[in-house]
Amino acid sequence: MYKEGDMVLIKSCAGDAIPAIHVVLIKKIVVKGQKGKYFDWPGYVGWECRLTKPEEADLLRKEWSIPFKFPDHIKTFVVEARIIKKINTSAKSKRVRKSKKKTI
C-alpha cells in the first residue's frame, strides 16, 4: 500500500495527546512472526522514516521532550498500523480554484 518516498501522517503510540506528524517513508522493514516454546511472537511491518516539518520537530521536543532536532536528528521508526493516511503531494492533487465571471 505504501512505498518508499511517500509522505504520510502518523500518530504516536504513546497516546492521543501527542499530535500527528508528517514523515517521509525511507525503508520498509518486515518482521515475520515466530513460534516459541512458551509463547508466540507476532510479526509486524514497519518503516524507517524522517520528519519533514521543522515546526513539528520543535513542538515534539519542547512540549513532549521527544529528542528531535531539525535537520540532524529527525529519523524515527513507525509501525504501519500507526499510519493515518497518505498525503498527496503531486501537482495534480492541488486544486486550482477558478473564479467564475458573472454574466449580466
Cell of 24: 517521509
Give 48's strand partners. 27, 77
pLDDT in tens, 62-97: 999 999 998 899 999 999 999 999 998 765 545 555
Residue 104 has pLDDT above 90, yes or no: no
Judge whether 17 lies within some domain.
yes
**Neighbouring residues of 40: CB distance < 8 A, sequence distance ≥ 6:** 33, 34
Residue 44 in domain: yes
Write down the pTM of the prediction. 0.77
Which residue range is the domain that position 21 belongs to?
7-91
Residue-wise pLDDT tens digits, 4-61: 999 999 999 888 899 999 999 999 999 999 998 888 889 999 999 999 999 999 999 9
Question: DSSP state, 1?
Answer: -
How many domains are contained in the chain? 1
Asked if residue 53 is part of any domain, the answer here is: yes
Q: Assess if residue 33 is contained within a domain.
A: yes
